[in-house]
Amino acid sequence: MSKKTIAWILAAVVLGVSYFGYQYWQQLQSALPQGIASGNGRIEAKLVDVVAKEPLRVQELRVDEGDLVKPGEVLVLLDTATLQAELEEAKLNVAATQEKVAVAQAAIVKTESEIRLAKIEVRRSSALVAERAGSQRELDVRNAALQTTSAGLQENQAMLRTLGQEVRVAEAKVATVQTRIDDATLKSPILGRVLYRLVEVGEVLGPGGKALTLVNLNDVYMEIFLPAEQAARLKIGAEARILLDVRPDRPIKGYVSFVSPEAEFTPKQVETRSEREKLMFRVKLRVPEKTVETYIDIIKTGVRGVGYVKADDAASWPTSMQNAL
């Protein structure tokens, strides 16, 4: 065997030993400490639909797919011309009823004055009859007039109470129509991102019709699946880390917000080291809202990665995961 061949063989052996040595060193570096479990998953968030309460035409759309929206931000304006007409009619009805109330109040004041006068006349007639200077008939007429006027007062007071109720009903009608007009301005209930724009200007939305679908960025999480022996040791609130495939060098802080009380088969889209027939427990790792708000422009749902969680409070994070976002 020539010296050249021996040199090639030695070089190959050295390369082989170096390669497998490097692979072994990588495995040691990536090995998880005791008390830390992991599973594959993807970034997810709850979806929120922006819907219309009643059939109205879309007048203006102020956002598009991918836009970031804040709580209370106006997203869609619906045409309220018909509702505005109803509102004006309801306001006029309130004004008309209030006028009737004013008339009834004036009638009560007038009747009360007539009662006072009638009482004076009754007392005078009574005194005259007692002195035999007046007739009993005149006294009876005065008493009858007093009773009639008193009955008229009760009637006016009852009418005033009825009109007061009508005013409240009319004002409630105004408030109802105004609420319907306010509801025609569709606002974002959350901090989120527009996932789907489902209508265009000019289209009519039916009751409960969806205009937009938003990704709720206040509830960003990753779901992983762990075997029973690991899931049983988890506590709600336990520390977690999330490593995304697109940024494996930047771990994200999280915490355990949910551990399923029931075992289930691992979904096909989730890759685990265990066999797929093995029952697993679903664990939800939530990203804190402050973290989401700080990195709101780069948060994307659907990005895959690996979730890590402390099954033992005494466990320590590897060096690569200690400086987390």
pLDDT in tens, 214-265: 999 888 999 998 888 888 888 899 999 998 888 888 888 899 999 988 776 6
- Helix, strand, or coil here: 34? coil
Separation between Cα atoms, residue 264 and residue 234, nearest integer Å: 17
Query: What pLDDT is attached to residue 173?
Result: 94
CATH of the structural domain 49-78+185-211, one choice from 3.40.50.1000, 1.10.1740.10, 2.40.50.100, 1.10.3720.10? 2.40.50.100
Query: What pLDDT is attached to residue 12?
Result: 61
Decide: 139 and 129 in contact? Cβ < 8 Å.
yes
pLDDT in tens, 4-54: 666 556 556 556 545 444 343 344 344 677 888 888 889 899 899 999 999
- Helix, strand, or coil here: 141? helix
Mean pLDDT of 117-121: 78
Decide: 195 and 14 in contact? Cβ < 8 Å.
no
Q: Could you confirm whether domain 33-44+217-321 is CATH 2.40.30.170? A: yes
Which is more confidently placed, 139 or 313?
Answer: 313
Which is more confidently placed, 149 or 211?
Answer: 211
Nearest to 146 by CA among 112, 178, 175, 173: 112
Which is more confidently placed, 263 or 62?
Answer: 62
